[in-house]
Amino acid sequence: MKNELCLPAEFDEKVKAYAQIFAKFNKVHSLSNYKDISEQVLDSIRPLEIFDISAKTAIDVGSGAGFPAIFLAIAMPQTKWHLFEPIAKKSSFLSYAKIELGLQNLEVHSQKIELADKFTADLITSRALSKTKELIKICEGFYDENTKFLIYKGSSVMEEISGIDAQIYNEKNRNYIFFNLKNQGEIR
């Protein structure tokens, strides 16, 4: 393990509040198949223990019900998080959760990232959205060679990231992929 995880004092309280909000909304709006989010919370913040992750500005692409972005935003209160989610019921849920949890460091964008005004982020995260190289392509204009990518992937990922020099950490059925595009050449 690379880093000792030092979570803000209010982390557990905000996670409990999120769990209540999620359970209520999920019954009506079918945001996710998850009934118990405890494993999703741990999965979301696990990379903070593994990799050296810091950012002033971060983007989460395809934020869905908030895994991993909500929990990363709670764990990293000094980071400004931009969550991109084009599905209205999910972006509405994220906006509501932001208000209820008092997450001043979080902004929800109800649109696809490729349609948004461009800015450079220090960190781009995504979980279960698309293949890694497709993600890099749709995020064009939001990164430079120093931007770090943190991608949450399932068990079969090696072919998908061929040609990318990345740190990979495997745990159970999860691969955490961490890289930037510095000295990577052209990725196709």
Determine, yes or no, domain membership for 169: yes
Determine, yes or no, domain membership for 110: yes
Determine, yes or no, domain membership for 97: yes
| Binding-site residue ranges | 62, 67, 113-114, 127
Q: Tell me how many domains the chain contains.
A: 1
Determine, yes or no, domain membership for 143: yes
| Helix 88-101 vs helix 11-29: crossing angle, to nearest 10 | 150
Determine, yes or no, domain membership for 166: yes
CATH of the domain at 134: 3.40.50.150
Largest CA distance in the chain: 47
Cα–Cα nearest to 43, from 165, 186, 151, 180: 151
| Confidence (pLDDT) at 1 | 47
Determine, yes or no, domain membership for 1: no
Residue identified by tokens 């450079």 is: 120
| Confidence (pLDDT) at 187 | 67
Determine, yes or no, domain membership for 144: yes
| Binding-site residue ranges for S-adenosyl-L-methionine | 62, 67, 113-114, 127
| Confidence (pLDDT) at 80 | 99
Q: Digits of tens for pLDDT over the chain (188 positions)? A: 466 788 999 999 999 999 999 999 999 998 998 888 999 999 999 999 999 999 999 999 999 999 999 999 999 999 999 999 999 999 999 999 999 999 999 999 999 999 999 999 999 999 978 899 999 999 999 999 999 999 999 877 888 888 899 999 999 889 999 999 887 866 65
| Confidence (pLDDT) at 36 | 87
Determine, yes or no, domain membership for 116: yes
Cα–Cα nearest to 84, from 53, 55, 106, 54: 106
In 27-113, beta strands by DSSP E: 57-61, 80-84, 106-109
Task: Report yes or no on whether pTM surpasses 0.75.
Answer: yes
Domain span holding position 42: 11-28+37-180
